[in-house]
Amino acid sequence: MIEFKNVTLSYGHHVVLHDVSFKCHFYEKIAILGGSGGGKTTILKLILGLVRPDSGHILIDGEDITTLSEAGLRDPRMKFSIVFQEGALFDSMNVRENVAFSLREYTNDSEEEIEKRVRELLKILKIEGAIELMPEELSGGMQRRVAIARSLAACEPRMMLYDEATTGLDPLTADNICNLINELAKGEPPGRAGFLIVTHKVADAVKVAERYIFIRNGNIIFDGDIEELKETEDPVLKQFINELFVCDVSN
């Protein structure tokens, strides 16, 4: 379980999160939504201990990670795999080397074992034919798939973290990535690995998530399911999710 307890974080005079509290299980499928600069990605960074709050506590399976050293953060971090915005692939490495990087960094696997694992992941993500290509030779959708393969390589995560997984993609490619996210989270709770996806695209969030958390001005203004979301009376939130009522993407 992940638990935020009264978490506040500022960058200089800018308050990114203010007294934020919520709980979620690893098997949940959650979208974190809100405007640009609203603190969405910061939540992912806090979960991984990449940034630390000014006040409050973050518990992973009951362990407060806010005071852990870098060495102490290793085990909590291994519960997650993260796919960063735009994929963040290593430009100087081909697909094989990008996916193998974490295996070489964090395991004692032989080169033969690494090659086998890389090919298995690329096959699962349906991009095995791209194994020799460089990132610049890949489409945006293929780059995201390689990034997902790399994130899965070194561990079997209990939860996936996606930072703007469909941003910058055309509608068809974005839809394919949403389908992939659902495929990786298939199964029934509590056995499945769920996800937290940060996005500003409500239509894509509805295709994958079962719970929606909206952040505005550093505060959680909504936390609920799709039916509760549609019934909100918050005028700003209603404007933000207007696309749901223009195109019924929930059915």
37 closest CA partner among 193, 164, 185: 164
Single residue among 156, 173, 199 that ends a domain in this structure: 156
**pLDDT tens digits, one per residue of 160-182:** 999 988 888 888 888 988 998 99
> Can you give the residue range of the structural domain that contains 8?
1-79+159-251
Give the model's pLDDT for residue 233. Answer: 86
Mean pLDDT of 229-242: 81
pLDDT digits (tens, 9 = 90+) for 63-83: 999 999 999 999 999 899 988
Which pLDDT band holds residue 152 (cuts at 50, 70, 90)? confident
Total domain count for the chain?
2
> Edge-to-edge strands of the sheet including 194-199?
80-83, 159-163, 194-199, 29-34, 211-216, 219-224
With a cut of 80, say whether residue 246 has pLDDT above it.
no
> The domain spanning residue 57 has which CATH number?
3.40.50.300
Mean pLDDT of 230-239: 83
Average pLDDT over residues 30-34: 93
Q: Are residues 70 and 95 in the same domain?
A: no
Residue 189 has pLDDT above 70, yes or no: yes
